[in-house]
Amino acid sequence: MTTLTDAQVRALPKVELHVHVEGAVKPATIADLARRNGVDLGVADLAELYHYRDLTDFLRVFDLVCRSLRTADDLHRVTFEALAIAAAAGVRRREMFFSPTFLMRHGVAFDEIWRGIAAGVRDAEAEHDIACRMILDVHKPAGPGAALELIELAAGCDRDLLIGIGGDAGETGIDLLAFAPAFEHARRLGFRTTMHLGEEGPASDIATGVHVLGLDRIDHGATLIDDPQLLAEVVDRQIALTVCPTSNVSIGIVESIAAHPVQRFIDAGVLVTVNSDNAEMFRVDVADELCALRDAFGWDAEQLRATCLAGVDAAWLDDLERRELRAAFERDIASIIDAGDGRDGDIGLA
């Protein structure tokens, strides 16, 4: 059994499918933008702010962070920075959420948000060689009417860049069935769909997402472990879960990384991808997540390889793009693992 070092894990090529641009930039950047835009964060050091009792408390802080983003230049800056951080963690492709409701309710126009994000993606791809596509998260507590309005706005964006519709924020008290027309409309417009489910909500919410909303992926999905029949269906249909272990620990969904059901999902045959969620707000990147899982579950090089390739399989790519990306990943992963076995000397990657 080959064990990979932290440096080797960081060098592995990765796809990341569950991360929010607003929560994935450095605390110093948010502090600077807050000062420029006259936002009182209530603390002198953002490290004091980035502690959460539960999901509700996290969303309160997330909203405060979003208040600091006011212009297209602000959105360009945070998008570019988030992708630069990801590239340093070995991410080759990211499908990244943005949550316009949090900004629009503080007076930022949708066009301003999208213009900044699109420019940040293009510049990061040119400078850091990272491909990124965006997913617009509707705000579930705002209801299905607001979701439809956002989906209509999304339809007018660059559809090569904006490829999916998701759903963020809390699950408690949400009528998921009411979102069926909105998500059906999104599919008719050609969007792929996903939603945050099974984070704090029960497995029955995931069942609604699968059977009624017709979701292509499930974000978090931790409570899927409570419904063996639904779990078997998710395995059979290869509906991907985008798990975020550190996030789940940080807001009290699970007690520790070792208590997370990710290993049981993998053992059952679920298509599992590993992600950082709100990377900087949880003080991790996706390489850190993989190292934590390696340490908690004894993952060897082969399991890490399989997890990286699962990201390729779960990504929203056409068949040719998937084959090409998978071939590149397999080649580069083999090179890193062989170097770790001492066959090729120092890996020379960081």
- 217-220 vs 240-243, strand pairing mode: parallel
Dist CA 4 CA 9 (whole Å): 6
- 192-193 vs 196-197, strand pairing mode: unpaired
Positions marked active-site: 199
H or E segment to which residue 245 belongs: helix 245-250
Burial 251-272 (b: 16+ CB within 10 A, else e): bebbeebeebbbbebbebebbb
Dist CA 148 CA 138 (whole Å): 9
State the DSSP string of 69-112: --SHHHHHHHHHHHHHHHHHTTEEEEEEEE-HHHHHTTT--HHH
DSSP 189: T
3-state SS class at 223: helix
Q: Roughly what angle, to the nearest 10 degrees, separates helices 144-155 and 180-188?
A: 10
